[in-house]
Amino acid sequence: MKKSARRILAIGAATAAGLTVLPTVPVANAETTTTTFDVMCLATPSSSLAGGPQNIGNPGAQITVDAPATVNAGDEFDVLISPPPITIPNGITASGITATIEESSRIKIDVMMPDNATYLSGEVVPGTSIGLSGTAPNMLRVNEAGTVDPNGTILRLSGNNQVIGNGPSSSKNSSGGIVAKNVGGSSASTTFKLPQVKARLKAGTSGAINLKLRTAGDAGTFGNDKNPITLLPKASAPLVGTIWAPAQCTPRTGAGDPLNNGAGPLATVNITEADKQTTTTLAVPSTVKNGDTATLTANIAPAANGGTVQFSLNGDDLGAPVDVENGKASIEHKFETDGDFDVKAVFSGTNGFEGSTSSTKTIKVTTDDVTTSVRTTGPNDAYVDEDVNLTAQVTPAIQGGTVTFTVDGASGPTAEVGSDGTAVAPYKFTTPGTHRVLARYSGRAGVAGSVAPMFPVSVTAAPAAAVQTTTTLSPVGTVNKGESVTLKATVDPSNANGTVQFKIGDKPIGRPVRVVNGVATLTTTFATGGEFAISAQFTGDNGFIDSASDPETLKVPGGEDPGTPTDPGTGSLGNIFGS
């Protein structure tokens, strides 16, 4: 009799071992992983007539999991578990006594919530179970105590959490939860099938997602209600009556053996890391001299190996794409035109790295400035309150910019530099003595400035009997090349005796002209185009003080490019006069 009862319990434990065989049901974009391992269960009968706790082994159990082999970081994916059909006998005869297995109930399977993934949902696939009754199977997320918890670390397939232990609705001597009843006579057998279950997961950022049975901590201890597979077989035998045999099953070969490979990953989903965001920055010079070769470098962070960088200049591709090595790509370019050039770099991206575009950087390309010198050319002496012209000559003669005169360190007049490189500014010394005049050339685009050496001017008081004069030059305006023009200077007072020397810049035009009735004239032509300062210098006879007119602007159309220096010795005046 005792032997018969023990055999009945063995059949119930075999049912527990059968439940560890999970399905091999292919799903789209998934791989099937089957793990074979031994299962050992501890079954504890409710009646002493059936003997004490029994270790029931089931070698060669299998679990099959369908899941993608790889997923991208952040992707959602499904894991499908499909238990296979399980067949058990309805009865067994031992020692002339027939025992009947009536059912197995409170069936549950616990799976660990995988690391590196977020659990989104779980469901039982409708219509995929066979021969089950009792409470409808469902997927619940529970904590270590078996209580439903949205933050729990365990996924449980059960009949609404009605289990033998490790849960709020536990019992080891009453039917509940998922029930698989035996049907037919004692000589027949019964087949049932647990439903397919599907879990929806979201991949983390990196690493591997391992799907495992619950075997951590107490769940891996032999004979514990937290074991990954538990159930409650129920059998009946003549004289013995009803026997409840709660069974706790773990993946191990013997009761005293360690956990085997069934406690390891049953399937592994590898996460393909999302491409890293990159930043592309340019390292380029801010200025380059015309004709020089500059190195343009793009730096990719984090440092990528692979991919290319396309450099562009003012929106146009600059050569072919350049390979990226250790986060860098460089190209050399010779600049042969002055101006501002916008440089940009576009990284194509590569395996594990997203592409990126740099901000625009501007390179200013310039020609070396023309070196100049400047000298003050007159006058050497003057009377107090005499009208004079301060003149300065810029060499080479380049039009543009200004000359500012300072007298004894005080700011004086400023004059524009004409096509002949000369600047002429009216001035009047108000005190006697030696005054030091300095001329400072401002320069202009492409032309460097310069400063003249200090120029001394000796200023004395005019003789008491001498008559002060003023000289005025009639406006000249625009004169065409080769066109005859009459220059006219008026000296006041009109009875002043002396001569007038007409000048262009600081150079004389023809010979001095005698003043008649306060007027001196000179007819001439100009053969060189440009813009010049014309003035008249009156030199008085005895009894009259010299005077200089304010300069007047002469424009001769069709001149040379004012930015092109000519003979550095003579400026652009080599042949300005037609006659």
Are 525 and 394 part of one and the same domain?
yes
What would the pLDDT profile of 2-56 be if each residue is shown by its tens digit?
A: 443 344 444 444 444 443 333 334 455 789 988 888 999 998 888 766 667 888 8
Total Cβ atoms within 10 A of residue 414: 13
Residue 44 tokens read as 């504890």
Residue closest to 518 by CA, chosen among 496, 536, 545, 543? 496
Residue 35 tokens read as 């793990």
Residue closest to 69 by CA, chosen among 264, 210, 261, 274? 210
Residue closest to 12 by CA, chosen among 110, 98, 109, 89? 89
Residue 285 is assigned to a structural domain of this protein? yes
Tokens 């740099």 correspond to 358
Are 398 and 348 part of one and the same domain?
no
Residue closest to 39 by CA, chosen among 109, 104, 106, 103? 109
Residue 576 is assigned to a structural domain of this protein? no
Do the Cβ atoms of 500 and 544 come closer than 8 Å?
no
Say if residue 1's pLDDT is above 50: no
Are 286 and 410 part of one and the same domain?
no
Are 450 and 533 part of one and the same domain?
yes
Residue 98 is assigned to a structural domain of this protein? yes
Domain containing residue 286: CATH number? 2.60.40.10
Residue 393 tokens read as 């000559």
Stronger pLDDT, 12 or 249, i.e. the higher one: 249
Are 515 and 430 part of one and the same domain?
yes
Residue 564 is assigned to a structural domain of this protein? no
Give the domain-ending residue among 366, 393, 417: 366
Q: What average pLDDT does range 462-479 have in this prediction?
A: 95
In sequence order, the 6+-apart residues with CB closer than 8 A to the CB of 543 are: 465, 466, 467, 497
Q: What average pLDDT does range 537-549 have in this prediction?
A: 96
Are 136 and 206 part of one and the same domain?
yes
Looking at residue 311, its pLDDT comes to 98
The type of residue at 337 is T
Residue 516 tokens read as 């008649």
Are 194 and 294 part of one and the same domain?
no
Give the domain-ending residue among 315, 346, 366: 366
> Distance from CA of residue 430 to its chain's centroid?
68
- Structural domain count of the chain: 3
Are 501 and 390 part of one and the same domain?
yes
Are 151 and 211 part of one and the same domain?
yes
Residue 9 is assigned to a structural domain of this protein? no
Residue 520 is assigned to a structural domain of this protein? yes
Say if residue 153's pLDDT is above 50: yes
What CA–CA distance (Å, rounded) separates 262 from 276?
A: 36
What would the pLDDT profile of 310-321 be if each residue is shown by its tens digit?
A: 999 999 999 999
Stronger pLDDT, 274 or 571, i.e. the higher one: 274
Are 284 and 393 part of one and the same domain?
no
> Distance from CA of residue 180 to its chain's centroid?
60
Give the domain-ending residue among 272, 290, 307: 272
Are 27 and 164 part of one and the same domain?
yes
Q: What average pLDDT does range 152-156 have in this prediction?
A: 95
Residue closest to 307 by CA, chosen among 343, 356, 358? 356
Are 357 and 379 part of one and the same domain?
no
What would the pLDDT profile of 499-523 be if each residue is shown by its tens digit?
A: 999 999 999 999 999 999 999 999 9
Residue 574 is assigned to a structural domain of this protein? no
Residue closest to 308 by CA, chosen among 319, 290, 327, 321? 321
- 227 pLDDT tier (thresholds 50, 70, 90): very high
> Average pLDDT over the chain, rounded to whole?
87
Highest averaged pLDDT of the listed ranges 10-19, 77-86, 476-485: 476-485
> Distance from CA of residue 314 to its chain's centroid?
21
Q: What average pLDDT does range 441-468 have in this prediction?
A: 94
Say if residue 82's pLDDT is above 70: yes
Looking at residue 273, its pLDDT comes to 81
- 559 pLDDT tier (thresholds 50, 70, 90): low
Q: What are phi and psi of 353, to 5 degrees?
A: -135, 130
Residue 422 is assigned to a structural domain of this protein? yes
- Stated pTM of the model: 0.55
Q: Which domain holds residue 216?
A: 23-35+63-229+268-272
- 99 pLDDT tier (thresholds 50, 70, 90): low
What CA–CA distance (Å, rounded) separates 511 from 159?
A: 126
